[in-house]
Amino acid sequence: MALNIAYFAWVRERMGVAEEVVDVPAGMADVAALVAWLAARDDRGALAFADPLRVRAAIDGVMASPGSPLAGAREIALFPPVTGG
């Protein structure tokens, strides 16, 4: 399954790219599995996702939890927690 992954803020800085299209392995079920796979892929991913609890996600523009399914997703955005002021 091909997914467009967009990275924001320090996640983007650590990944070294703003976005990429990846072919995720078959059976990749949810956001948590995707983040774990990205962390294991290379050193940049290991740095960006060293603490997966510090990363938030949106699937096709809708906030998602780590257990949110990837089925049917076109884009996943990964970013640090957002605060207001």
Q: Can you give the residue ranges of every domain in the chain?
A: 2-79
Gap between the Cα atoms of 79 and 29, Å rounded: 20
pLDDT band at 85; cut points 50, 70, 90 = low
Q: Is the pLDDT of residue 65 over 60?
A: yes
CA 83 to mean position of chain CA atoms: 19
Locate 56 and state its tokens: 């938030």
Element (H, E) at 37: helix 31-41
pLDDT tens-digit profile of 43-52? 999 999 999 9
pLDDT > 90 fraction of the chain, expressed in percent and rounded: 93
Contact 35, 66 (CB under 8 A): yes
3-state SS, residue 77: strand
Q: Is the pLDDT of residue 53 over 70?
A: yes
| pLDDT value at residue 1 | 85
| Average of per-residue pLDDT across 42-70 | 96
CATH number of the domain located at residue range(s) 2-79 in this protein:
3.10.20.30
pTM of the prediction? 0.94
Locate 16 and state its tokens: 């070294």
3-state SS, residue 20: strand
